[in-house]
Homo-oligomer: A and B are copies of this chain.
Amino acid sequence: MTKLVIGGAQMGPIQRADSRALVIDRMVALLERAAQAGVEMLVYPELALTTFFPRWYMTDPAEIDAFFERDMPNAATAPLFARARELRIAISFGYAELTPEGRRFNTAILTDRDGRIVGKYRKIHLPGHSEYDPERSHQHLEKRYFEPGDLGFPVWRNADVVMGMAICNDRRWPETYRCLGLQGVELIMIGYNTPSVNSQKGAEGLEKRLFHSDLSLQAGAYQNATYVVGVAKAGLEDGHPLIGGSIIVDPDGTVIARAKTEGDELIVAPCDFAACAFGKTTIFDFARHRRPEHYGRITAQVGATVEV
């Protein structure tokens, strides 16, 4: 059975003025620490290369484009790929993707331990809104800057583990985990940037925000008998706070590693993927217990309909 040491590379804030080179230096430093800790698969956050720019309303295409990558790897990120290959650490990280056709996605890639990109995921559940909203304490314009992912929820066998990815708000949706669980996923990697303040409910508070993150990640792990890694970009970006709370969750739903800071911080857990088998063959043996004939609404309708 496969064992793999999994790392989460939580990143502290990235200011708008920070260059890609500066960010990549920090990511490589985390990679070096991960190597010393024996990590074989390292997960970085969503939009790891830039500040969380959807908090700003922008109209100038050039200003927007500056946050996007046209190629991956590219000149800026090549040192990260090169060092990962040398250290034989598979990595995943998120970035804003601008395609040759001019399409924009909130994307994450996965490499094998030879530094080759073997998987790409584009965020499906974009939160927020698309136009300036004067009623919010800050903007959350993901629906403005990205289109919803068009690649579904794929899995890949990487380092002999069935891996899937999701991004930030995807983690709150049980559909995400289930689509991956139905493909036998054993490790789900989820980077996020979550504002510490709910832009529509200021009183919610950091503690409740962290609780919701944990709850979603832990339920997804347990209900699909899979490891889940949630990795934050955290701290104060140009005055806007992001939650930390990066965790690694085992297939029983138990948190086995947790970040303590809101800065660049490595969390590590040795994972024995044999642990996925118990849940998948007993209480969550989907073939024996699921009843899709009663789940029709989940795919037949988008929004809620109140008919009583």
Contact = CB atoms under 8 A, between A and B. Distances in A.
Contacts of A302: 286-287, 290, 292
A302 to B, nearest CB: 5
A141 B135 CA distance: 55
Contact of A211 (B211, B253, B280): B253
A223 interface: yes
A298 B297 contact: no
B304 A181 contact: yes
A55 to B, nearest CB: 16
A252 B216 CA distance: 12
A60 to B, nearest CB: 26
A102 interface: no
A215 B279 CA distance: 15
Contact of A219 (B200, B216, B285, B290): B216
Nearest to A216: B219
Contacts of A169: 283, 289
Given A215-B222, A223-B172, A295-B298, A183 B307 contact: yes
Integer count of this chain's copies in the complex: 2
Interface in A165-180: 169, 172-175, 177-179
Interface in A134-173: 148-149, 152-153, 155-157, 162, 169, 172-173
A120 to B, nearest CB: 14
A103 interface: no
Interface residues of A, number: 66
Contacts of A282: 200-201
A113 interface: no
Interface in A263-280: 278, 280
A59 to B, nearest CB: 22
A301 B215 CA distance: 26
Contacts of A182: 297-298, 301, 303-305
A211 B298 CA distance: 27
Interface stretch (A16-24, A80-88, A124-132): A124-132
A184 to B, nearest CB: 4
Interface of A: 124-127, 148-149, 152-153, 155-157, 162, 169, 172-175, 177-179, 181-184, 200-201, 208, 211-212, 215-216, 218-219, 222-223, 252-254, 278, 280, 282-292, 294-308
10 contacts: A125-B291, A149-B294, A172-B284, A178-B295, A182-B303, A183-B308, A200-B282, A218-B219, A290-B303, A299-B299
